[in-house]
């Protein structure tokens, strides 16, 4: 009887200890803080116009890669408008919230950002958020590729560096639309309708494939074939205001389009 009583006490003690251990483990898990590095989908491209002391603004694009490398492009608006590119590596702070861009020439203290949900917040040299009337200007927004050029009607305005001039009796101008659903492209070369698929990737990369067109005869086939060749050679695109330009791998302009309407 005594041994049975001791066994019951031992079982109760073991159960209580296990519960305490479980509660302690749960508490540890609950108190473990999430951070931007582990909980956010931060590898991407971020864009915005940062304030500038002696220009209209700094058009900035930062690409953050999984391997902790970055590429930053800066255009000082109102000056030479030429992109200044820089690349290097970046490091996270201990809290996994901030990053500092580093290379041999740049001062990493002046290139710190707080990583937020779909945003980068430019920090001051001490790693603090910039306050004041212009604080909303010190932000770069994540680029969602599908939203930048898809679901819009793009009219061709330039082909291989030459301004497009429609024929006297040409009723349909060359155009295209990129649809999100199934990544399909639809358009018209000025005579024949065409369709196919496209793929977008980081770094403004674009690739058209499985292209097919009707085979009607008209007076504008030469321009049309030139457009089809441009789509075939397109490697990347650049976007500015209401225009996009398809470029080849050497960044030479193949075709420029103007947005007529879109979501």
Q: pLDDT per residue over 178-204, tens digit each?
A: 998 888 999 999 989 999 999 888 788
The beta strands (E) that lie in 98-226 are given as: 98-102, 112-116, 119-122, 139-142, 152-159, 162-163, 175-179, 184-188, 193-201, 205-213
Q: Which of these ranges, 5-14, 64-73, 87-96, 206-215, has the smallest mean pLDDT?
A: 5-14
Strongest mean pLDDT among 27-36, 75-84, 131-140 = 131-140
pLDDT band at 30 (very low <50, low <70, confident <90, very high): very low
> Does 33 score more than 70 pLDDT?
no
Bridge partner residues of 90 (DSSP): 101
Residue 56, H or E segment: none
Assign a CATH topology to domain 146-262: Lipocalin (2.40.128)
Query: Which regions of the chain carry the CATH code 2.40.128.270?
Result: 146-262
Residue that wins the pLDDT comparison between 214 and 263: 214
Bridge partner residues of 74 (DSSP): 60, 84
Residue for token pair 């031992």: 10
Q: How many CB atoms lie within 10 A of CB 198?
A: 20
**Average confidence (pLDDT) over 111-139:** 91
pTM (global) more than 0.85: no
- Of 92, 75, 93, the C-alpha closest to 84 is 75
Question: Counting Cβ atoms within 10 Å, is residue 85 exposed (0-12), middle (13-18) or buried (19+)?
Answer: exposed
Query: Which regions of the chain carry the CATH code 2.40.128.640?
Result: 38-143
In Å, what is the CA distance from 208 to each residue of 19, 183, 187, 196? 60, 10, 13, 7
**Average confidence (pLDDT) over 242-263:** 91
pLDDT band at 168 (very low <50, low <70, confident <90, very high): confident
**Average confidence (pLDDT) over 237-261:** 93
What does the pLDDT read at residue 109? 60
> Does 176 score more than 50 pLDDT?
yes
> Does 108 score more than 80 pLDDT?
no
What does the pLDDT read at residue 11? 53
Question: Counting Cβ atoms within 10 Å, is residue 217 exposed (0-12), middle (13-18) or buried (19+)?
Answer: exposed
The CATH architecture one would assign to domain 38-143 is Beta Barrel (2.40)
What does the pLDDT read at residue 219? 81
pLDDT band at 70 (very low <50, low <70, confident <90, very high): very high
What does the pLDDT read at residue 24? 42
CA torsion angle 48 54 55 57 (round to 10): 10
What does the pLDDT read at residue 148? 79
pLDDT band at 56 (very low <50, low <70, confident <90, very high): confident
**Average confidence (pLDDT) over 35-61:** 89
Question: How far is the C-alpha of 116 from the C-alpha of 170, rounded, in Å?
Answer: 50
pLDDT band at 29 (very low <50, low <70, confident <90, very high): very low
Residue that wins the pLDDT comparison between 94 and 81: 94
In Å, what is the CA distance from 65 to each residue of 42, 120, 230, 237, 245? 8, 14, 29, 19, 24
Q: In the 8-state DSSP scheme, what is residue 143?
A: P
């Amino acid at each position: 009887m005594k041994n049975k009583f001791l066994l019951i006490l031992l079982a109760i003690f073991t159960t209580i200890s296990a519960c305490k251990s479980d509660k302690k483990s749960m508490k540890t898990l609950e108190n473990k803080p999430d951070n931007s590095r582990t909980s956010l989908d931060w590898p991407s491209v971020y864009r915005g116009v940062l304030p500038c002391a002696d220009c209209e603004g700094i058009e900035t694009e930062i690409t953050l890669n999984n391997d902790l490398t970055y590429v930053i492009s800066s255009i000082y608006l109102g000056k030479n408008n030429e992109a200044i590119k820089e690349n290097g590596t970046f490091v996270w702070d201990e809290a996994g919230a901030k990053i500092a861009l580093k290379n041999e020439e740049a001062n990493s203290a002046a290139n710190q950002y707080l990583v937020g949900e779909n945003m980068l917040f430019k920090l001051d040299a001490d790693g603090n958020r910039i306050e004041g009337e212009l604080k909303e200007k010190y932000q770069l927004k994540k680029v969602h590729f599908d939203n930048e050029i898809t679901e819009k009607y793009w009219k061709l305005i330039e082909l291989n560096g030459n301004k497009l001039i429609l024929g006297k009796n040409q009723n349909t101008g060359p155009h295209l639309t990129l649809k999100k659903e199934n990544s399909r492209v639809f358009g018209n070369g000025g005579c024949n309708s065409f369709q196919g698929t496209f793929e977008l990737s980081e770094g403004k990369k674009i690739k058209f494939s499985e292209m097919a067109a009707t085979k009607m005869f008209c007076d504008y086939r030469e321009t049309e074939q030139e457009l089809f060749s441009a789509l075939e050679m397109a490697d990347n695109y650049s976007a500015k205001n209401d225009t996009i330009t398809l470029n080849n791998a050497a960044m030479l302009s193949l075709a420029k389009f103007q947005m007529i309407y879109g979501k």
